[in-house]
Amino acid sequence: MADFSERSLQATIVVSFLVGFATGWQANRMRRKFLDWRKKRLQDKLTETQKKIDLS
C-alpha cells in the first residue's frame, strides 16, 4: 500500500464526506418531489372519484 501523508488522508476523508452529503441531499430532494407528485396524483384521483359518486 502506498504511503499517504496525513494531509492527503484528511483531504480524502473530507471530500468523501462532502460527496456523500451532496448525494444524500439530492436523493432527499428527489424523494420529496416524488412524494409531492404522488400526493397530487392521489388527490386528483380522489376528486375524480367523488365527482363520479356525486353524479350517480
As given in the structure block, the three cell numbers for residue 41 are: 396524483
Is the confidence at residue 2, as pLDDT, over 60? yes
pLDDT bracket for residue 50 (50, 70, 90): very high
Q: Give the Cα separation of 56 and 49 in Å (integer).
A: 11
pLDDT bracket for residue 52 (50, 70, 90): very high
* Cα–Cα nearest to 26, from 37, 16, 14, 18: 18
| Tens digits of residue pLDDT in 11-41 | 999 999 999 999 999 999 999 999 999 999 9
pLDDT of res. 39: 98
Task: Compute the Cα dihedral for 7, 9, 15, 20 and give only its sign.
Answer: negative
Q: Which amino acid is at 18?
A: L
Domain map of the chain by residue range? 28-56
Contacts 24+ apart (CB under 8 A), 24-31: none
